[in-house]
Amino acid sequence: MPTPAVTTQAVERQAVRRPVDYVWAVARIGLGWIFLWAFLDKTFGWGFATPAERAWLNGGSPTTGFLKGTGDNALGGVFTALAGQGWVDWLFMLGLLGIGAALLLGAGLRIAAVAGGLMMVLMWAAELPLQTNPFLDDHLIYAIVLAGLALTGAGTTWGIGTWWATTPLVRRHPVLR
């Protein structure tokens, strides 16, 4: 049986929509597509960022290109050592898929925000020192937006977040919201 607090909050959120709710929903869906597209292109090598011969399904490593290029950077040695390792490739690809799916669906935004934020901060660190800005780049902006999506409950607008919050699993483990 659903807890009244979760059900009431979810229904109230769905009943009263503000323009900002739609802005967050568009940001959620857009960012979800960026993560999912990265997964698909790296898996199948559709030629946008990953040529077919470097596709994961063709034996390519989705992390090697980015991480091998960090050799001269501040933390380059750490990240270069991780490049191309199977467990790193799997974690990265599962992260892209899971974060992208969660954002597109509007469910599990808390975990997606933490995982995606960590991924973005690690990618930011791998590029230090930055070429075009002394501190800030798109990776940190994505991490901030991910936090905003989770904190605003962006999955309830144009997503399954309202339903997801009322499932027995999520009621028992609110971190899954």
Residues counted in the chain: 177
Against a cut of 0.85, is the pTM above it? yes
36-47, pLDDT tens digit by residue?
A: 999 999 999 999
Cis peptide before 4 (omega within 30 of 0): no
Q: In the predicted model, what is the mean pLDDT of the chain?
A: 90
Residue 81 has a CB neighbour count (10 Å cut-off) of 11
The percentage of residues in the chain with a pLDDT greater than 90, rounded to a whole number, is: 74
**Does the pLDDT of residue 148 top 90, yes or no?**
yes
How many Å apart are CA 84 and CA 108, to the nearest integer? Answer: 29
Instruction: Give me the sign of the Cα torsion angle 148, 150, 151, 157.
Output: positive
* The pLDDT of residue 1: 45
